[in-house]
Amino acid sequence: MPSPTVTRVRAAYARIEAVDRPEVWIDLRPQAEVEQEAEALDARAAAGEHLPLAGKLLAVKGNIDVEGLPTTAGCPSYAYKPPADAPAVARLRAAGAIVLGTTNLDQFATGLVGTRSPYGAVRNAHDPARVSGGSSAGSAVAVALGIVDVALGTDTAGSGRVPAAFNGIVGLKPTRGLVPTDGVVPACASLDCVTVFARTLPEAEQALSYMASPSARELPPLPQRTPGPWRIAVPDRAQLGELDPGWAEAYEAAAAQLASAGAELRNVDLTPFTAAAAMLYEGAFVAERYTAVGSFIDKSIDAGADDLDPTVAGIITRARDIPAHRLYADQERLAALRTKALASLGDADALLLPTTPGHPTIADVAADPLGANARLGRFTNSTNLFDLAAVAVPAGEVDGLPFGVMLIGPAFTDEPLAQIARLLTPPAHLAVVGAHLSGQPLNPQLLAFGAQLERKTKTAPVYRLHALRTTPPKPGLVHVGEGGAAIETEVWQLPAEGLGRLLAALPRPMALGRVELADGTSVPGFLCEPGALDGASDITAYGGWRGYLESGPDAG
C-alpha cells in the first residue's frame, strides 16, 4: 500500500496528464524520483520528525534555484545547474514540501503576461484564450489547476499578484527582503521579492512563515496604530482609469464588502502611485535589468541565438544606453512621489485596488506586446518602488472569469494586510471527522471561530481512521488510496479568518490538507501525521469516530 504522500504525488502526476498543459513546466522531475522522495519523507514523519508541510507539493518559478534542476530564467541557453536550493526553496523542503519541478515564466522575469517564453505561452487556467499573467505564469497556473498546493514566484512589477488575480488564487508579495532572494536570477535586484501562490490565504501564509527571515532587514519603528476599525484607502472611480467592462463594479463591491465588515473607507489620491508605476519601465530604473542579464543578451544576439524572446531582448538592450544622470533624476522624482503617496495614505491601514485594469487575450498581447503589458502594471508597478507590502486575493467573477483585488500597505505590515484580506475571502469549508464533530469536545472551538455546520457526508473511500493516544481522545485520518473506506464527515463553513486562526493553533500530530469527499469534491480538512500512528488502533471498520465511540470496546 503506498504511503499517503506517495498517493498525493501520483494524483498530481495524473492531474498533469489530465489537464494537458505542457507549457506550465520547464523541467518536471521524473515521477519515480518524486515518489521515492515522498516515501522517504513519510518514513521520516513516521519516525517522529516534525515536518509541518509534509505532503504539500511545490512548484518553483524557473528563475529560482532548485538543486538537481537547471535554472533557465526562461532561456534555454542561459541555463546553469545550481549547487544548492535557493534559501526560500530549502526552507520549504526542510518543512516537508516536495518540489515537482520548475515552471515557465516571462523570460528573465520581464513581463506581466506569461507569453514571453520560448517554452510557449502559458494559457490561463480558466480560459485558454486569455493570458495567465506573468512573469510567474506557470507557478500560478500549477496551483490554480490543482496540481500543486503552493508555488513560488517572484515580484518586481507585479508578477506575484497579476497571475494570482487572473487565475483566481492568492498571491502574497511580502515586504522586500523578508524572504531572501539568494539563488534567484534577478530582474531588478534592488526591487525583487520571492512570492508565494496558494488556493487559500491560510495555505499561503503558512508557506510564507517558513520562507521568511524576520532579521533579513532591520525592523524600523512602526507608528503606533490609532485604535479603531480597519482604515481602507480607496480612490475615486475616475482615478482608476479605463477598466474592462464590469470591473469597476466588481471593485466597488469588494470595497463595500470591507465596509460591511466594519472597515472605514476613506478617499486617497492615486496620482503618485500611477505616476511612479509608469517610471518602472519608462524611466531609468529599467537599467537594472540590463545589469542583471544584459551582457548575456548582447553576446547571445551577436552569436545569432534563437531562444531570446524579442520583446524581452528589446526592453533589456534598450536600457543599456540610459545615462547615469537620468537615474539620479528619477530617484529624486521617485522619492518625492513616495512622500506624496504616503501622505495621501495617512494613517490608512491599506490601499485597496483592482489588481489589474483588465484581462487581455493572448491575441491582444500579440497585437500590442508593450502596450498590453504596460496597462497590466498600472496598479502593481509602484509597490516595490515605494517599498510596500501587498496581498492579492480573489474577489468574485466578472463574465465567468476571476476578478481579483489587492491590499497594499507599508513595509512590515504583512500580517495586518492578511487580516484585512480575510474579510474579502469567501467563507472557508472544513471537513472534520473526530473531536470537532457536533457534540464532541473540540466542537466549541469551531463555534468560537464562527463556524456553522453545512452538511453531513462521507469521505471518498480512500482513507483509514485510527484512534490516537491523545487527550482528549481523537482520531487520525490518513489517505491510503486502495484499501481505504468512506468515513463519516461533517463539512463546516467558517470565516477565512477563523480558518487561519484554527490552523495557527493546530497541535501536532494534526495537519491541514485536502480531504476528498464522496461527491468527488475536496475541501480543507484535518489529516494526521503518519508518525502519530504508532500504537494507534485502526478503527476504520466502525465507519467513523461516532461509530467507534458508540460501539468500540476500547472507546473512551
Q: In 10 A of CB 442, how many CB atoms? A: 14
Interatomic CA distance for residues 408 and 406, integer angstroms: 6
3-state secondary structure 155-201: ECCCCCCHHHHHHCCEEEECCCCCCCCCCECCCCCCCCEEEEEECCH
* C-alpha dist (Å) from residue 353 to 22, 383, 391, 408, 517: 33, 12, 11, 8, 36
Neighbours of 301 (CB within 10 A): 12
Which one, of 318, 326, 317, lies nearest residue 284 by Cα?
Answer: 326
Catalytic residue among 61, 136, 344, 382: 61
* Residue from 3, 117, 132, 135 carrying the catalytic annotation: 135
Question: What is the Cα–Cα distance from 149 to 197, expressed in whole angstroms?
Answer: 9
Cβ burial 527-550 (10 Å sphere, 16+ → b, else e): bbbbbbbeebbebbebbbbbbbbe
Among this protein's residues, is 382 annotated catalytic? no
Residues found in the chain: 556
What are the DSSP calls for 428-446, one per residue? EEEEE-STTSTTSTTHHHH
**Which cell is 35 given?**
515518489
Active site residue 56: no
Nearest Cα neighbor of 477 from 432, 444, 416, 542 is: 432
Written as nine digits, the cell of 83 is 549547487
CA distances to 103, 181, 293 from 188, in Å: 20, 11, 10
Cβ–Cβ under 8 Å, residues 359 and 123: no
Do 266 and 273 touch, CB atoms closer than 8 A? Answer: no
Chain centre distance of CA 50:
23
DSSP characters for 208-221?
HHHH--TTSSPPPP
Order the strands of the 231-234 sheet from edge to edge: 25-28, 98-103, 57-61, 150-155, 193-198, 170-173, 388-398, 401-410, 350-354, 231-234, 264-267
Q: What are phi and psi for residue 360, nearest 5 degrees?
A: -80, 160
Bridge partners (DSSP) listed for residue 170: 198
Q: Which of 117, 132, 139, 159 is catalytic?
A: 159
What is the spatial distance between Cα 85 and Cα 89, in angstroms, rounded to a whole number? 6
Residue among 154, 155, 165, 163 at smallest CA distance from 353: 165
Active-site annotation holds for 213 = no
Give the catalytic positions in this structure: 61, 135, 159
